[in-house]
Structure 1
Amino acid sequence: MRGMVEINPVLVEVERSGFVESRHRGSAAGLDASGALAVRLGAPDEPIFPRSANKPMQAVAMLRSGLELDGQELALAAGSHSGEDFHVEGAEKILAGAGLSAEALRCPEAWPLDRSVAIDAARGGGGRSRLRMNCSGKHAAMLATCVAAGWPTEGYLDAAHPLQAAVRAAVEDLTGERPAATGVDGCGAPLFAVSVTGVARAFRALVLAAPGTAERRVADAMRAHPHWTSGTGREERRLMDAVPGLLVKCGAEGVDAFALADGRAGAVKIDDGAMRARTPVTVALLRALGGHTGGGTDAAVLDELATVPVHGGDRQVGAIRPAPGVFAVSPPAGA
Structure 2
Amino acid sequence: MRGGMVEGVHHGSVVVLAADGSTLFAAGDPDAVMYPRSTAKPLQAAAMARLGLRLPPAGFAIAAASHSGEGIHLDAARAILAAHGLTPEALRTPEDYPFDPVERDEWVAAGRVPGRLAHNCSGKHAAMLATCRKYGWTEHDYLDPGHPLQLAIATSVEDLTGAPIPHVSVDGCGAPLFAMTLRGLATALSRIATAPSGTPEALVAHGIRAHPELVGGSRRDVTALMRAVPGLIAKDGFESVQVAALPDGTAVAIKIADGADRARPPVLAAALALSGVDSAALEPFAGTDGPDGLRVAGALARQPAGAA
Structure-2-length-normalised TM-score: 0.95
Change (3 A) 1:243 1:61: same
Are 1:278 and 2:264 counterparts? yes
Secondary structure in 1 matching 2:247: coil
Task: Name the counterpart of 1:152.
Answer: 138
Change (3 A) 1:29 1:117: same
Task: Name the counterpart of 2:83.
Answer: 97
Are 1:305 and 2:285 counterparts? yes
Task: Name the counterpart of 1:114.
Answer: 100
Secondary structure in 2 matching 1:241: helix
Contact 2:283–2:294 at 8 Å: present in 1 too?
no
Runs of 4+ in 1 over 3 A off after TM superposition: 16-19, 316-324, 329-332
Task: Name the counterpart of 2:217.
Answer: 231
Are 1:327 and 2:307 counterparts? no
Alignment of 1:1-335 (within 5 A): 15-292=1-278, 299=280, 301-309=281-289, 319=293, 322=296, 325-329=299-303
CA-to-aligned-CA distance 1:73-129 (integer Å, 9 cap, x gap): 110011110000111111111111111111111111112111111111111111321
Gaps of 5+ in 1: 1-14, 294-298, 310-315
Contact 1:185–1:191 at 8 Å: present in 2 too?
yes
How far is 1:149 from its partner?
1.4
Contact 1:75–1:222 at 8 Å: present in 2 too?
yes
Contact 2:92–2:174 at 8 Å: present in 1 too?
yes
One-letter amino acid of the structure 2 residue matched with residue 255 of structure 1: V
Aligned pairs, number = 306
Contact 1:196–1:267 at 8 Å: present in 2 too?
yes
- Give the RMSD, CA atoms, in angstroms: 1.8
Secondary structure in 1 matching 2:10: strand
Secondary structure in 2 matching 1:29: strand
CA-to-aligned-CA distance 1:35-57 (integer Å, 9 cap, x gap): 21111101000111000000001
Secondary structure in 2 matching 1:186: coil
Contact 2:69–2:99 at 8 Å: present in 1 too?
yes
Task: Output the CA distance in 1 between the equivalents of 2:299 and 2:87.
Answer: 52
How far is 1:291 from its partner?
2.1
Task: Output the CA distance in 2 between the equivalents of 1:317 and 1:242.
Answer: 19
Q: Compare the two structures and name the one with the higher helix fraction.
A: 2
One-letter amino acid of the structure 2 residue matched with residue 128 of structure 1: P
Task: Output the CA distance in 2 between the equivalents of 1:57 and 1:324.
Answer: 30
How far is 1:331 from its partner?
6.9
Structure-1-length-normalised TM-score: 0.87
Contact 1:79–1:137 at 8 Å: present in 2 too?
yes
Task: Output the CA distance in 1 between the equivalents of 2:295 and 2:56.
Answer: 37
Q: Compare the two structures and name the one with the higher strand fraction.
A: 1
Alignment identity in percent? 46
Task: Output the CA distance in 2 between the equivalents of 1:320 and 1:302.
Answer: 9
How far is 1:67 from its partner?
1.3
Contact 2:287–2:297 at 8 Å: present in 1 too?
no
